[in-house]
Amino acid sequence: MMNGMQAELGPVACLRFDGVLIAVSSGKAQMLDRNLYRATGIQSEDMKILVNKSSAHFRADFEPIAKAVRVAKAPGPMVADPADLPWTHPARGMRARPGGGAFEVGESI
């Protein structure tokens, strides 16, 4: 997704805890593609399970290597699922979630 663009992540590390590898960075970044794992030395293609702290940005690069994608909702300052927002006047064709149906004019959810 980044197509070779550079991103400022700050110092990065791969932590190991009870056999679980955890990629961390000092800078904020969206999980746009597998290169963020590679920056810490993790080869995502070799992992049986990957957990990304992202709601949608990761999909384009990760879905081709995934057997399944599960999205978990967790409390925080922003809802993880846009379909949970109280939309009252969505734009024609807008989708509340990836692969979801498009809204019709005047429809609210």
How far apart are alpha carbons 18 and 14 in whole angstroms? 13
User: Domain ranges in the chain?
Assistant: 1-72, 79-108
Give 29's pLDDT tier (boundaries 50, 70, 90): confident
57-86 pLDDT tens trace: 888 899 999 999 988 777 777 776 777 778
Q: At residue 109, does pLDDT exceed 60?
A: no
Predicted pLDDT at 107? 52
Predicted pLDDT at 1? 56
Predicted pLDDT at 108? 54
